[in-house]
Amino acid sequence: MKRPGAVSAGECPMLKKVRIAIKTTQRELATSLFHQKQVGEVSSDPSTIELMMEGRYHDDGTRVTISYKEGELTGMKDARTSISFQKSEPHLVTMTRDGTARTAMIFEAGRRHLCIYQTPYMPFELAVATKKVQNRIEENGTLHLVYTAEIKGANGQYTDFTMTLLPDLGKPLGT
């Protein structure tokens, strides 16, 4: 079944307003990704944030991008987050953030990627080790990521992230 808003070969690119539900559960870890150690036991109680927001869904036939503005609850007020993937590689997801803090993270199950987390004060090296990528955006509008991120010199943070595009995808922008 073709997901509402998806573009078939030969169709025009589509940019739509979307409603997005995000649930993120995080826990602090006691081990380090930078020292190549196995991610171990969780060392803190989980904190969960659930958000609903409006965003944009863009499908150009080969790449899907979902973008939204962060709010105060996430600690990244006025930042814009974009999640994208090539349709030919849905298991490889990129998340970029622009605003006060900027970064580009790559999520690929079973892999560890390094990136830079740029803040107003200084840049930090960030390691992201992904355990799970379950990308069903085109099938049922869901993306599930399980990963650990660590800024060098700080404890890692285990994250379970689920984004759901709600069935009411709205009209193409500009119409």
- Please tell me which residue, 32 or 162, carries the higher pLDDT value: 162
Span 57-78, pLDDT tens digits: 999 999 999 999 986 655 566 7
Q: Which helix (H) or strand (E) holds 41?
A: none
User: Cβ contacts of residue 1 below 8 Å, gap of 6+?
Assistant: 139
Distance from C-alpha of 61 to C-alpha of 87, rounded to nearest angstrom: 8
**Does residue 73 sit in helix, strand or coil?**
helix
Give how far the C-alpha of residue 111 lies from the chain's centroid of Cα atoms, to the nearest Å: 16
Model confidence at 29, in pLDDT bands (50, 70, 90)? confident
Distance from C-alpha of 97 to C-alpha of 79, rounded to nearest angstrom: 6
**Does residue 27 sit in helix, strand or coil?**
strand
Q: How many CB atoms lie within 10 A of CB 125?
A: 13
Span 107-140, pLDDT tens digits: 999 999 999 989 888 899 999 999 999 999 999 9
Of the candidates 75, 27, 17, the residue with the CA atom closest to the CA atom of residue 51: 75
Tokens representing 122?
Answer: 């200084």
Of the candidates 7, 21, 11, 63, the residue with the CA atom closest to the CA atom of residue 168: 21
Distance from C-alpha of 175 to C-alpha of 173, rounded to nearest angstrom: 6
* Residue type at 26 in one-letter notation: Q
User: Cβ contacts of residue 83 below 8 Å, gap of 6+?
Assistant: 65, 66, 67, 93, 94, 95, 143, 163
Model confidence at 28, in pLDDT bands (50, 70, 90)? confident
Span 135-170, pLDDT tens digits: 999 999 999 999 999 887 777 899 999 999 996 655
Query: Residue 46's pLDDT is what?
Result: 85
pTM of the model: 0.80
